[in-house]
Structures are given as structure tokens and as C-alpha cells.
Chain A
Amino acid sequence: MSLSRLCRVVRCDLVKVQSSSALVSKLWGPCASREVSTCSTQRASVAQHSSKPDWNRAVSEAEKIVGYPTSFLSLRWVLSDEIANVALHLRKLVGSNHPLLKTAKNLIYNGKNNMQAWGLIVLLVSKAAGHSPEIPDMEQDKAAGVLHSQRALAEVTEMIRTSHLVHKGLVNMNSRQPIAAEPDDMMFGNKIALLSGDYLLANSCSELANLRNQELVELMSSAVRDLAEAEFLGERDEQNNPLPSRPLPKDQIEEASEWDIITDPLPMGGVIGCAGREWAARHVLAAGALLGKSCSAALKLAGHKPQLQTQGYLFGCHLALAWQAFLDLEAFTGPEPASFSLVGAPLAFTLEARPELYEYIEAGKKSVQDVDYHALYKAVLAGDGLEQTKRLQREHIARAVHVLDSFPDCDARTALANIIVAMHHDHL
């Protein structure tokens, strides 16, 4: 099906499906529902299902197109001495409430924010774009239609992302606030978290080195750098949870700098205090850069021209931002949650419109838990923050889809389109 038609479908869906969101969100649970949807394997079924989008189905169909997902949880990793060690130590942490446990659980069970999805997208982009005919057969995974090197790259993407999440899950033992649990447990948890993250990072270094492509190593290393930078942007509470910056009046915002050189660190001109741009900068660093650079690197491995590599970067970046907007919206679709991201787009737009609400944010300087989420929730629903976020998401989706248009029509492209539709669709 053509992509323009896809866009139309997306638009209709926006209107149609609002009522079914509760049902859809149930489908997101752990693995069970995913198993159900894996029964059909034909390419045709992908297109067939696309009229009734469902995240899990979209993902599992896509996984089959490129051969079973990526190997992060494959035996190779599980059986490595270090990971076995970590598993052993993790057991000791059960009962403490170190966030590493939550991170570990999310890595394994979390349906929607699923790690594999990142590697999967890299593989789908690889397959959708194809590769140059000069690449020898030896280096191809014929059955899946991707190169072995691209598969390794997908794995690296997942490892880098996981490593970052694990490191983000450390507990700051250096805060003025007393730490709720046993300090020994927390220290031990930090140690394991730091080492496991380092392990993944070290492995991604050597996997990358094995690809013997130095431009690629540079690009991917710059993605690691961006992830680290993301943790320093803007205000933070004592556990380093992000807080939005105080919205500045339009005339006080400095001139926005161009974000055009992707291996350079993201310029911060005009970012702080400007709702949309701050949101974008934050999530480009934390997510877009990695996915974009991975997609771009996958195309580089396939021998595509720099022009297409740039398109790959844009695709990954916009997709990650659309994804983020989708996650931000999610908090406002079901019943009122106990807390939600303070740097989500809906709140950012609401704060921009009503700067006086920033005093609620200031209450969270010590800990984001001190914020009055209920008041902010009501303010978001009352304003047009959600509407603006949806517009933002549509914009990013449109740009991602625009790139997809330049790929030849094939199953991988359809699968990517399906994932986008499902993402778009689920929360409305």
C-alpha cells in the first residue's frame, strides 16, 4: 500500500478510535498478547492487519520480517559469565528497593517501551533500504535480507540504550535527603548497576570495533556522548530527575542555533526556556540521537550515499520524537496517574501558556515526588497542551513517513509503517 494512503488511514484513525483506548492499553501487558499475535507469518498478513493497528502485532510481524529480533537476550549474553554473575547478585538485591530491579524488570517484561523495538527498527530500516550489489554474499543474512554487520549494529544500539538506562537507574547516595532504604543495599545495587552498564558499554565498544568502520565507530560513540549529555540538560532534583526550565517570554529567548552537524554536540542556543525546543533538545539527546545515528549507520554499512544516510538519521530521530510524544500523551489517556513525566510535551506546552504554574515545579527541586501532580494534571487537561502534543507527534510522524517514501515498496517498509500507525493509534 502506498504511503500516502497510509497517511490517510492514520488521519481517519485519529477520529475513529478514541473510544477503544482502554481496550488497547490492556493489550499492552506482558508477553501473553504478543504470543497470540505471532500466529501468522506471511508477508501478506502484515498488510492485511494494518487496517486494524495493534502495537504488539505490528512489532511481532516486523520481527519476523528481519528474522527473530535482535540478540540482546540471546543465549550468548545470558550465558556469559559476567551476566550470570549479575543475575546472581541481583537476587541479593531482591527485597531492597534499588531501582536496578525495576530497570531489570522493565528490560525483560515491558511491552511498549521495549528495548528490542530499537534494534528492530534499525534492522527494518536496513532491510527497507536494501544494500549495494557489491557487498559479497558472505556478509549477508540472505534469509532476513540484512547484512550481518547491520545485525551487529542493531545489537550495539540495544546495548548502548540498555547501558544508559541501567546507569540512569543508579541511586544518588550523595543527596541531602536521607535515603529510604539500607545504605548498604543501595551501595551494592549501585555497584552492580554501574558494572553491568559498563559491561554493556564495553561490549558495544568491541562489537563496533569488529565492524572495522571507523566513521561508524565515531558516529555511534557520539551517540553515547549525547546520551550522557542528556542527563545534564536543565534543572534536576536531587536524584537527577529532570525538571522543566522556567518558561521565558518570547523576546528573552536567545537565538536558536542550527542542529545540523550530527557528530557535534547539540548546540544549546535558544533551548532553555523555550517549551518546544527544550522538549526536542532533551529527547533528541536522550533518544533521537541514538536511534537516528543507528539508522544512519545501518545505511552506511549497506554502502548507501551520504545523502541517504542523513535521511536515515532524520527518520530515526523523528521516529524517536514521535514515540516520545506518544509516551508523554499516554499519561493523560487513562485514569489519572499518581505521577507523570514533568518534562513531557503536554506539560511543557501548558507551562508555556501559563507560566505561573511553574511554582508547582519549583516545589520539586528536592524531589519530584514533592510536586502536586494533581494540580498539574488538571491544568494540562484544561489547556490545549494535549492538542499541541498531538500536533507535534503528527508532525514528527509526517517527517518520518516522508523519509520512508524514499525507500522502495517492500515488506520491511510496510512493517515500519505499521509500527508508526500502531504507535499513533493506540493512545487516542
Chain B
Amino acid sequence: MATLTISCLKVGGKWRMPVSCVCYAVHILKRFVAVVAMACLSSSRLCARVQDKLLCQFGHKVRKQTVFVKLKPPGPSPLRIFGKTCQRVTTCGPACGSGGFSAGVSSGLVRRLASSLQSTSTGSLPDYGTQIVDPYRLLEDDLNGIYEDIRSELERNTNQSELNTIATYYFDGQGKALRPMVAILMARAVNYHVYGENSALLPSQRQVAMISEMIHSASLIHDDVIDQSDFRRGKPSVNVLWNHKKVAMAGDFILAVASMMIARLRSDDVTLVLSQVVTDLVQGEFMQLGSKETENERFAHYLTKTYRKTASLIANSVKAVALLSGADESTCELAFQYGRNLGLSFQLVDDLLDFVSSAQAMGKPTAADLKLGLATAPVLFACEKYPELNPMIMRRFQEPGDVEKAYELVHKSRGLEQTRFLARKHGAEAARLAAELADSPYQKGLVVTTDLVLNRIK
């Protein structure tokens, strides 16, 4: 009920000013409260804050070290940084050690992280284009024809040609196919981990890879209707071309076919895991309808939303392939956490690119999030230095000039660097988890993928 009241205040235009005034007045107090009452908040926010503090102290030095950490042999210097992070976090309270993302990186784990990162650097680092382990090339055979298979599955399920046209529109092979790639990579890595060298990809695991892309596309199709976007993947988006009612139905259709495919795997656990994805996606969308009042809540809200909208799909689909492989519980959990961190890192980079990339490279307009009224990580970070962003966030950048002003302030602040840093943290955590699997080309591929996600330009 409390959340209800808050969103009510937020929605009603009249309340904006008083609320933001109060907000501002208790701003400093809140910072103390944040430290004290941290146990009941999401620890993620805290960690972000800790990193932020770290950034302030170490400045460029830290960032450089993080960038090049993979080039160095496991040594004391990166360890010290993480060690300090750890120390700072643990002095804050017990909540951080257990929950949160990479907060609880112990020095032992860090050593493993460092060595794992090194173990991947057998090729000509840091240029991953020429790297030996290119996950897409590694999985060429598995990924080959995956879009065709999805299209024919959809086609088999309808006798209405227009429905078929709309439903297959985004399965033209132009996407990155990141989700299927990660799912298959994890499937093979876990199979190798459990059964050794002679393991193969199960047909059911490839199905999960297809399903993950289908759920993703179904959500894109509905997003297009909601956001009225004009372009996606470099071509007109579905809502420009067809009747919106039909487009909405096509989204439902893809989901229905995907869930029939899930059911045909005949595994209760996999169905449960994948149904969670759909619930998360919708809840994420609902969270996007409103933002929270205080800065602290806002960041936790943002991270939870990001998990639900993006990371949950990746996390749960890699968990599903691990389940299908018959891996034990801890391996499934490891897969899940890998996917979760990779997904968060992916979305953070996405939010970053929205500010720095050109429209041409992205295949969709930039600063799109601001135009939609969404405050993503760069804005939330920037808001610490430029509190004047607060009222703009509250009114969802709706007044003339808001978008431009916010865009400028984000670039003037260190919001982009901080976002990248957070993305790196999640990427590093994913890489650390991947390194715990048995050594195989696929396991290396998982580690490389974390870098692909971080270093992508679109």
C-alpha cells in the first residue's frame, strides 16, 4: 500500500513540487539513513555507491587497472583494489556480504578471477576480433539455421498468412542472437563440465536457445506498440507497418508457440524456470511505468527493473539448459548467476550506448530512453553531481528542453564512466563464475562473451 501512495503522489501532477522539495530538504539526511538502514535496502545500490566512492578516490588509476587487469598476471595490484572494495563494503554492514552482485568478492575468488582472465588471454589480446575463442564461430554449426527453425516453428503453428508475416518479421537473421548464443554456449560448457569431452548439445537445449530468442522477440513486439518506436534493427518496426491490434496478437502468438515448445520439452522444472521469465518481463514493464522518489530507492528500482526486463531472460534460459543437462543444483545456480550478471552488464552497456552511440550504429534512435522518460544508470549517476536532474527525472523529461539538458549534464558528469564501471563489475563477476566450470573451449567462450558484451559498439 505504501508503494501505491508513492506512485499516486508521483502520478498526480500537483504533488510534484512539494515532493521534490521535501526530497531535496532531506537529501543529506537520506544519505545517512542509507548507510544505517542498508540492511533493508537492496545491497546493489550500496555497492554502486561504494564503487562510486572508490572511483572518487582512485580516479583514473582504478579504471585503467580494471581495463587492463586481464593482461596482467595474477598479482597484487588488482587484488588490492578489489580487496579494498570488499573491506569497505563489509564495514558497512552484513547485508552486502550475502546479497548483491559482486560485493562479496573475496580475495581468494579474485585470485581465481585474475587467473581465469589470464587463461583466456592465450590469443592476441586485447583485440577480440582475432581471438581464438570467438563464441559465434565456435558455435557456428549450432547457431546455423536457428532463425530458420524458429520461423518454420511459427509457420507450422498458424494458417493465417498475415499472422505468419508479422510474427516472423524480427526473425530475419539480422539480430545479434546473443541470447541463443549464450544459451548454447552455457549448454555445451555445462555438458562438458558434467560429462567431459565427449558430451554433445542436446536437442532440447537448442530448443531452449530458440525459445529464449522467441520470448525476447515477443517482448520487443509489444514494446514497439507501447513505445511507438519507428526503427528497430535497422528496419521499420512492426508498429509502423501493421495494425496495432494485430501486432499485439502476433506477440501473444509468439509467446504461445514458445510456451508450447517449452511444454514439449516435458520438464516441469524447465517450464517453471521459463515461466518466471515471462512474469519478470511484465513486472519489469510495470516498474518502468513509475520511478521511485528518493535517490536510494531509485537506483535499487532501476537495478531490479533491469534484472527483470533483461537479465532474467538470459539468467533463466541458461539455468534451463543447465537443468536439462542434468547438472547438480550448485552448477545450475552458477549458470543462473552467470546469466544474471551478464544480463545486467549487457543492459548497463545498452543504457550507456544510448548516450554515446550514433543512431546509425544502433539501428534505432539514440537518447531514446530519455525521450521515453526513462532515467537509466548514466542519468542516475549524473544526478549525484547535478541535483537539478532530480526534478527532470520526476517529470520524466517531459518539459521542452529536458531531454537536451539531461543529455548534456550526463556527458558533463562522470555518469557514463560510472555506468561502464558497474557494467565491468558485473562482467567480471560473470567471468569469475564461468571460470569455475571445467576448462573447455565453451567455458572460455563464456568468459570471452562477457568482454564481447562490454566492448560492443551496438
Contacts and interface: CB of A to CB of B under 8 A. Distances in A.
A196 to B, nearest CB: 9
A240 B243 contact: yes
A229 B8 contact: no
A210 B248 contact: no
Given A238-B243, A239-B245, A203 B279 contact: yes
Given A174-B239, A206-B279, A209-B272, A228 B250 contact: yes
A224, A228, A239, A263: which has the most chain B beta carbons within 10 Å? A228
Contact of A221 (B7, B250, B260): B260
Given A88-B11, A214-B265, A232-B163, A198 B282 contact: yes
Interface stretch (A8-16, A79-87, A104-112, A343-351): A79-87
A334 to B, nearest CB: 29
Interface stretch (B118-126, B285-293, B448-456): B285-293
A229 B275 CA distance: 22
Contacts of B263: 214-215, 217-218, 221
A222 B272 contact: no
Instruction: Choose among A171, A175, A194, A203 the residue with the greatest number of B CB atoms under 10 Å from its CB.
Output: A194
Given A209-B275, A266-B159, A229 B285 contact: no
A374 interface: no
B198 interface: no
A108 B89 CA distance: 51
Contacts of A201: 252, 255, 278, 282
Interface residues of A, number: 57
A71 B240 CA distance: 38
Interface in A149-184: 163-164, 167-168, 170-175
B253 A206 contact: no
B285 A170 contact: no
Contacts of B255: 201, 205, 224
B158 interface: yes
Most buried by B among A171, A173, A194, A232: A232
A392 interface: no
A153 to B, nearest CB: 14
A214 B163 CA distance: 26
B327 interface: no
Contacts of A224: 252-253, 255-256, 259
Contact of B8 (A88, A172, A206): A88
Interface residues of B, number: 55
B159 A214 contact: no
B272 A210 contact: yes
Nearest to B159: A268
Nearest to A267: B159
B59 to A, nearest CB: 41
Interface stretch (B71-79, B95-103, B220-228, B385-393): B220-228
A428 interface: no
Contacts of B276: 206
Contacts of A304: none
A277 interface: no
Contacts of B274: 209
A259 to B, nearest CB: 11
A225 B253 contact: yes
Contact of B228 (A187, A203, A228): A187
A222 B256 contact: yes
A231 interface: yes
A222 B257 CA distance: 7
Contacts of B240: 174
Given A174-B244, A214-B265, A221 B259 contact: yes
Interface in A182-214: 187, 190-191, 194-195, 197-199, 201-203, 205-206, 208-210, 212, 214
B245 A229 contact: no
Contacts of B8: 88
Nearest to B161: A232
A227 interface: yes
Interface string B139-164: 00000000000000000111110110
Given A201-B252, A201-B255, A225-B256, A214 B4 contact: no
A227 B285 CA distance: 23
A171 B256 contact: no
A231 B257 contact: no
A394 to B, nearest CB: 29
B328 interface: no
Most chain A CB inside 10 Å of its own CB: which residue of B248, B274, B283: B248
- Between B226, B228, B257, B264, the greatest number of chain A beta carbons within 10 A of the residue's beta carbon is seen for B226
Contacts of A172: 243-245
B232 to A, nearest CB: 15
B242 interface: yes
B271 to A, nearest CB: 5
B267 interface: yes
A229 B7 contact: no
Contacts of B239: 173-174
B61 interface: no
B278 A206 contact: yes
A186 B4 CA distance: 24
B172 interface: no
B249 A209 contact: no
Nearest to B247: A174
Contacts of B3: 81
B30 interface: no
Interface in B1-29: 3-4, 7-8, 11
A368 interface: no
A174 B264 CA distance: 37
B252 A227 contact: yes
A171 B252 CA distance: 16
Nearest to B164: A232
B406 interface: no
Given A174-B240, A209-B272, A231 B264 contact: no
A228 B279 contact: no
A92 B225 contact: no
A267 B158 CA distance: 9
Given A228-B250, A266-B159, A171 B259 contact: no
Contacts of B290: 85
B163 A229 contact: yes
A408 interface: no
Contact of A194 (B225, B246, B262, B271): B225
Contacts of A52: none
Contact of A190 (B162, B225, B249, B278): B225
B159 A228 contact: no
Contacts of A174: 239-244
B68 to A, nearest CB: 43
A10 B375 CA distance: 63
Contacts of B283: 82
B158 A229 contact: yes
Nearest to B258: A221
Nearest to B268: A212
A320 interface: no
Contacts of B266: 214
A173 B7 contact: no
19 contacts: A88-B11, A167-B249, A172-B243, A190-B244, A203-B279, A205-B278, A206-B278, A206-B279, A208-B275, A214-B264, A214-B267, A217-B262, A218-B260, A221-B256, A225-B253, A231-B249, A236-B243, A265-B158, A267-B159
Interface of B: 3-4, 7-8, 11, 156-160, 162-163, 222, 225-226, 228, 239-246, 248-250, 252-253, 255-257, 259-260, 262-268, 271-272, 274-276, 278-279, 281-283, 285-286, 289-290
Given A167-B252, A208-B271, A229-B163, 7 more contacts: A174-B239, A195-B286, A202-B278, A202-B281, A209-B274, A214-B268, A240-B245
Give me the 9 closest cross-chain CB pairs, A-B, nearest first: A218-B263, A232-B160, A228-B253, A217-B263, A224-B256, A209-B275, A225-B256, A221-B259, A240-B245
